[in-house]
């Protein structure tokens, strides 16, 4: 259950977002905003992130993710409401193969 005034969103970021320090940048930005969650590369070339925290900070991070770090070229950011348990802090997770998860 989220605290009042908090929200959780899942992002799928596409474009030139791997090999450009997008995950490390996301950890730095989200941590500085006091968010919980994680970020990881996906085998399909996208980046996935879970952002949890006060609504204003989550919204600010979503806005930042539309640009990303200097070398990134973001095409789209798909945003969905998220639920579940989130560890405290913000971490970088290993790459996930989304095809293997479906089986």
Q: Token pair of 18, please? A: 């791997």
pLDDT per position as a tens digit, 57-92? 999 999 999 999 999 999 999 999 998 777 799 999
C-alpha–C-alpha distance, residues 103 and 52, integer Å:
28
By annotation, the residues acting in catalysis are: 23, 41
Which pTM value belongs to this model?
0.91
Mean pLDDT for all residues in the chain: 93
Contact 80, 10 (CB under 8 A): yes
Domains, the chain, in order of start with CATH, read 6-84 (3.30.70.100)
The radius of gyration of the chain from alpha carbons, rounded to an integer in Å, stands at 13
């Amino acid at each position: 259950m989220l605290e009042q005034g908090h929200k959780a969103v899942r992002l799928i970021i596409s474009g030139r977002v791997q090999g450009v320090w997008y995950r490390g940048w996301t950890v730095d930005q989200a941590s500085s905003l006091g968010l919980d969650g994680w970020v990881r590369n996906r085998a399909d070339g996208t980046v996935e992130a879970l952002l949890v925290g006060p609504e204003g900070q989550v919204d600010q991070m979503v806005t930042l993710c539309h640009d990303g770090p200097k070398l990134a070229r973001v095409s789209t950011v798909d945003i969905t409401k998220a639920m579940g348990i989130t560890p405290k802090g913000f971490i970088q997770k290993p790459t996930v193969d989304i095809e293997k998860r479906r089986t």
